[in-house]
Amino acid sequence: MTDRFRITLAQLNPTVGDLSGNAAKARDAWAQGKAADAHLVALPEMFITGYQTQDLIEKPVFHQAAIAAIEALATDCADGPALAIGGPALEGAGLYNAYYILSKGKITSRVLKHNLPNETVFDEVRLYDSGPLGGPYSVGNTRIGSPICEDAWHAEVPETLAETGAEFLLVPNGSPYYRGKLDMRMNQMVARVVETGLPLIYLNMVGGQDDQVFDGATFGLNPGGELAFILPPFDEEIRQIDLTRGPEGWRIEPGEKAHQPDEWEQDYRCMVESLRDYCGKTGFKKVLLGLSGGIDSAIVATIAADALGPDNVRCVMLPSEYTSDHSLEDAKACAEALGCRYDFVPIAAGRQAITATLAPLFEGTEPDLTEENIQSRLRGLLLMALSNKFGEMLLTTGNKSEVAVGYATIYGDMAGGYNPIKDLYKTRVFEQCRWRNVNHRDWMMGPEGEVIPDRIITKPPSAELRPDQKDSDSLPDYPVLDGLLELLVDRDASIADCVAAGYAHDDAKKVERLIYLSEYKRFQSAPGTRLTKSAFWLDRRYPIVNRWRDG
């Protein structure tokens, strides 16, 4: 006789620290599972606290309150399916990343995470103790193994669970996006299925948290590695999944295999979702930015319109005497195409006043970068004044190439609260703009069509801080610069590696020097969307004072 086991998978978006809000989401998912006659309702890793909590989890009053919230959930969800939810656990003097099974009004089982990630954005070794290798838990007469996130990226925990009687694997995750991450997850989970011979359900959360975005794409694999279902990425989903038991054991019944977009759409969605959640979870309803007529501010304005709606985005043109007519025209055209508010605030009079104030101190010196930076800092001052007056968060607009080499003015165009394109190299900015101009999705709140004028994409990039200035006056051409940055930053390559790849030694040395000299700027820069494993924030932690140079 064939047995059936129904799981309600809750691919949801928690908020770090919002214990009551996260518990309410869990209760709602449980109620939907109860209505669907599920045996088990499953939520992702550390769902009650949100993920990642970083050092907040070490605060005793916080982790104790989180455990109390789980205990309250057990009472609230007594009459119906079992509920599985991630949260902190205390055992002796140890603090653990745990997965709780709640049933009939109490905590019936608790899984403690064994393998603690300690790379890129993860610091779990310093936050949690490692749990012992354990066995499966029971829901009714079915034995389930739950390797928690990293535990499924190594063989020993799933193999131990299989050897001790687990009938299938349910893996709760807080797995953030980076480009190509889904393929990496799939490859790892297929290996676990092949090794254990058990079906595997990979449950991931969605939503933005600071720089990270959790992209969902929850999936199930049957023995042999066959894909049984996959949920849409980035969207909250509550889905019923059935397993049936036949002569060969449990199998996941085939379900929807949702479309998984290409990397251009996923990167763009990631930037939109990260800004939307950063604002939503911190309380900002509106944003503003300096719209210069250049490509970086144009793509940020577009991301903001898609994330929050054009009515919630203020674009401000702050021209100086060096601002070209085409920049004035392009900025206005972009704001109008997006449907955003457009303000025109010339800085010439303010700059003259500052120059006159400094003139006695600068007497006998020649104009240089100092005077250029005054323009940028004056713009930052005016934008922050608007932010303070109207409660709109200021966005910064520096791409990864500029952030890497410090081609930005600290306390000037670096002023602001969030940077959606912080992990997007300049050469990718061009292509991302072209992609957005010909693609529109229902999750975008901005208009469809060509919202970024073609001239913004095709004209030579310039900061326009002096006559006839071009970025290439100070930096290698962007294809060369980005190629070197991908080697030096993304791959930790040496100068010799760069030369072997075909780049000039002098260019490689110049770029390396700029990267190291700019560390202090990045330390003070706004957080921004993480798109790769080499983003500038938690992925890269270099000293500010550093005399090391290669080659």
Query: What's 162's domain CATH number?
Result: 3.60.110.10
Alpha helix (H) ranges present in 414-540?
426-438, 454-458, 478-485, 495-500, 505-517, 519-523
Q: Are residues 395 and 512 in the same domain?
A: yes
Q: Are residues 168 and 268 in the same domain?
A: no
Residue pLDDT, tens place only, 53-87: 999 999 999 999 999 999 999 999 999 999 999 99
pLDDT of 473 > 80? The answer is no
Q: Which of 25, 77, 124, 149 is catalytic?
A: 149
d(CA 549, CA 534): 20
pLDDT band for position 475 (cuts 50, 70, 90) = confident
- Residue where one domain finishes, among candidates 238, 255, 272: 255
Of 68, 106, 103, nearest in space to 89 by CA: 68
Cβ atoms of 433 and 460 within 8 Å: the answer is no
Q: Are residues 477 and 499 in the same domain?
A: yes
pLDDT average, residue stretch 366-382: 93
pLDDT of 521 > 60? The answer is yes
CATH of residue 304's domain is: 3.40.50.620
Residue pLDDT, tens place only, 150-159: 999 999 999 9
Q: Are residues 205 and 329 in the same domain?
A: no
Q: Are residues 86 and 202 in the same domain?
A: yes
Residue % of the chain over a pLDDT of 90: 93
Of 172, 128, 227, nearest in space to 10 by CA: 172
- Residue where one domain finishes, among candidates 222, 255, 288: 255
- What pLDDT is stored for residue 1 in this prediction? 40
Q: Are residues 190 and 237 in the same domain?
A: yes
Q: Is residue 547 part of a domain?
A: no
Q: Are residues 180 and 274 in the same domain?
A: no
285 a catalytic residue = no
d(CA 210, CA 18): 15
Print the domain residue range for 57.
Answer: 3-255
Q: Is residue 545 part of a domain?
A: no
pLDDT of 2 > 70? The answer is no
Q: Which of 25, 77, 113, 433 is catalytic?
A: 113
Q: Are residues 301 and 448 in the same domain?
A: yes
pLDDT of 37 > 90? The answer is yes
pLDDT average, residue stretch 404-418: 95
Residue pLDDT, tens place only, 114-155: 999 999 999 999 999 999 999 999 999 999 999 999 999 999
Q: Are residues 247 and 349 in the same domain?
A: no
Q: Are residues 321 and 443 in the same domain?
A: yes
Q: Is residue 196 part of a domain?
A: yes
Q: Which of 25, 45, 402, 433 is catalytic?
A: 45
45 a catalytic residue = yes
pLDDT band for position 464 (cuts 50, 70, 90) = low
* Three-class DSSP labels, 20-34: HHHHHHHHHHHHHHH
Q: Are residues 240 and 269 in the same domain?
A: no
Q: Is residue 540 part of a domain?
A: no
pLDDT average, residue stretch 396-420: 96
User: What is the residue-averaged pLDDT of the chain?
Assistant: 95
Measured over all CA atoms, what is the biggest interatomic distance in the chain, rounded to whole angstroms? 95
3-state secondary structure of 104: coil
- Residue where one domain finishes, among candidates 221, 255, 289: 255
3-state secondary structure of 240: strand
Alpha helix (H) ranges present in 321-425?
325-338, 348-362, 369-390, 400-405
Residue pLDDT, tens place only, 326-363: 989 999 999 999 999 999 999 999 999 999 999 999 99
pLDDT of 461 > 80? The answer is no
Number of domains in the chain: 2
Q: Is residue 36 part of a domain?
A: yes
pLDDT average, residue stretch 479-499: 97
Q: Is residue 203 part of a domain?
A: yes
Q: Are residues 144 and 53 in the same domain?
A: yes
Q: Is residue 546 part of a domain?
A: no
Residue % of the chain over a pLDDT of 70: 99
58 a catalytic residue = no
468: left (phi over 0), alpha (psi -120 to 50) or beta: left
Q: Is residue 59 part of a domain?
A: yes
The pair of structure tokens assigned to 121 is: 């954005």
pLDDT average, residue stretch 496-516: 96
